[in-house]
Amino acid sequence: MSDVLATLFDLSSTRFNKPREELTPESDLFQALAIDSFQAMELLTEIEEKFGIEVPDYEIQDIRTFQALAEVIQRRL
């Protein structure tokens, strides 16, 4: 598992109080974390702070899984 993905799981499980072991790269992040799009945006800001990057909203417009999100972040690092 990539470092980015591992960090994503850490952040998500802590923020939304979900067991980390239940999260997989292919998990739908909205469903796995039981969050709405507004909460997903909050998570994104936390991710940006953690990685020291900025991801424009439109880049995650079609993102559904942790894997896809990790790829977007990886491209910005």
Partner 1 sequence: MVHADNYPCLGALLRDALIQYKSETALIEVNRKNETKRLSYLHTRQEGFRVASHLASLGVEAGTHVAILMTNQSRWPIGAYAAMYRGAVLVPIDYKLQPHEQSALLLHAQPQVLLVEYSQWARLKNETLPKGITLLISEAPENAELPNNATRWEALPVPQQEPTFIERTRDDIACLVYSSGTGGRPKGCMLTHDNYLYQLGRLVDLYPMGIGDRFFSVLPTNHAIDFMVGFIGPLCGGATIVHQRALRPEFLRWTMQEYKVTHMALVPLLLEAFERAIQQRLDELKPLKRKAFNGLSSLNYALTQKRPNHAISKRLLKPIHEAFGGSLKYLFCGGAFVDKNRAEFFYRIGIPVAIGYGLTEVCTVATVNDLHPFRADSVGAPLPGIEVNIINPNPEGIGEVTIRGRTVMKGYLNEPELTAESIRDGWLHTGDLGWIDASGHLHLVGRSKNMIVTAGGKNIYPEDIELSFEGTPVSDFSVFSSSYIWPDTPLEEEKLVAVVRFDPEKEALAWQDLLKRNKALPDFKRVAEVLPWPQEFPRTASLKVKRQVLASQLRDKAKRQTLRPLA
- Which spans of this chain sit near partner 1 (rule: CB under 8 A)? 28, 30-31, 36-39, 41-42, 44-45, 54, 56-59, 61-62, 64
Query: If DSSP codes are grouped into helix, strand and coil, which group holds residue 28?
Result: strand
CB 12, min distance to partner 1, A? 16
Q: Which is nearer to partner 1, 3 or 59 (CB)?
A: 59
Closest CA relative to residue 17, chosen from 34, 38, 36, 37: 34
CB 41, min distance to partner 1, A? 4
Helix (H) or strand (E) holding 71: helix 66-76
CB 74, min distance to partner 1, A? 19
